[in-house]
């Protein structure tokens, strides 16, 4: 039986502007099941990053309901939201967001350092995630010593440190050449297929979107299309 990981009802996010409010998202209704890989596509400014931020609980909707991993986000305090993210979500960013003065190993441990300290357990978990993305020979390198594709693999290893049920990735292949992009995608799709993890990514790349199990297309903050069913 499939399990609903994200349920959005009439989601709306309005930004007030001097020249009138702008609806970054309007009436977005969407359900995502465990194990899906969903591409959110649409032109620049269509609301893709806004939707991802709302699902992550990093931003609050102006109206509408959002249930993520069984929690009604509107009922949660900021601390509860942070806790939900720390326990169950992983993030991958277009610009990697690595700390330049920390090694690969330290960067990957970072999200759980406040909880687990620099313990053997945490170091072991980080190493496991780094091995998963094939960078075990680079653990003591700094981000500046790595290629873009390698840095994004570190970003993915860091996103996996808490064994997340939901991975949110904002243009994870946006800065990568075709080969590096392929490596990241293969890893993301493996995670979804093998471990029933759910992956939501935004992309401008048609080829990336077509490889996801579903495409959700936005236009001016509204759902323009919802394609089901390519290869996972
Ligand atoms: N903090 C903000 N204040 C005001 N308007 C905002 C803010 N953040 C986003 N917007 C507006 O909301 C709309 C959607 O932005 P969003 O960043 O979600 O688009 P996007 O689809 O991710 O674009 P891109 O492909 O360029 O990343 C845009 O019109 C943007 O200008
Ligand atoms: Mg964006």
At 171-214, the pLDDT tens digits run 999 999 999 999 999 999 988 887 789 999 999 999 999 999 99
Confirm whether pTM is higher than 0.95: no
How many domains does the structure of the chain reveal? 1
Nearby residues for ligand 2 (ion, Cβ within 5 Å):
48-49
What average pLDDT score do residues 90-94 get? Answer: 94
Establish if 26 belongs to a structural domain.
no
* pLDDT tens digits for range 46-75: 999 999 999 999 999 999 999 999 999 999
| Bridge partners of residue 228, in order along the sequence | 214
Closest CA to 69 of 49, 50, 92, 88: 88
Distance (Å, whole) CA 29 – CA 106:
39
Q: Does residue 47 have its Cβ closer than 6 Å to ligand 1?
A: yes
Residue-range definition of the domain harbouring residue 117: 35-46+78-228
Is the Cβ atom of 53 under 6 angstroms away from ligand 1? Answer: no
Query: Is the residue at 6 inside a domain?
Result: no
| Torsion (CA) 106, 160, 71, 38 in degrees, nearest 10 | 130
To test the pocket of ligand 1, the residue of 48, 173, 218 to mutate (highest count of ligand atoms within 8 Å of its CB) is 48
Quick one: which H or E segment has residue 128?
helix 120-132
Domain annotation covers residue 51: no
């Amino acid at each position: 039986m499939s399990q609903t990981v994200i349920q959005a009802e009439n989601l709306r996010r309005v930004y007030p502007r001097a020249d009138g409010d702008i609806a970054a998202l309007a009436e977005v209704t969407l359900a995502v099941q465990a194990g899906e890989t969903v591409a959110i596509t649409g032109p620049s400014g269509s609301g893709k990053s806004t939707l991802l931020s709302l699902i992550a609980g990093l931003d609050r909707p102006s109206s509408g309901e959002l249930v993520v991993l069984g929690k009604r986000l509107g009922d949660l305090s900021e601390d509860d939201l942070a806790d939900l993210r720390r326990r169950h979500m992983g993030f991958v960013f277009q610009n990697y967001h690595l700390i330049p003065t920390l090694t690969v190993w330290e960067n990957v441990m970072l999200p759980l350092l406040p909880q687990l300290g620099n313990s053997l357990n945490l170091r072991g978990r980080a190493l496991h995630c780094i091995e998963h993305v094939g960078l075990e020979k680079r653990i003591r390198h700094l981000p500046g010593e790595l290629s873009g594709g390698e840095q994004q693999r570190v970003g993915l290893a860091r996103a996996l440190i808490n064994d997340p049920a939901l991975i949110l990735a904002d243009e994870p292949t946006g800065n990568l050449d075709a080969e590096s992009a392929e490596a990241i995608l293969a890893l993301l799709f493996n995670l979804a297929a093998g471990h029933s993890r759910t992956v939501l990514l935004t992309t401008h790349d048609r080829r990336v979107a077509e490889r996801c199990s579903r495409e959700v297309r936005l236009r001016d903050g509204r759902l323009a299309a919802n394609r089901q069913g390519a290869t996972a």
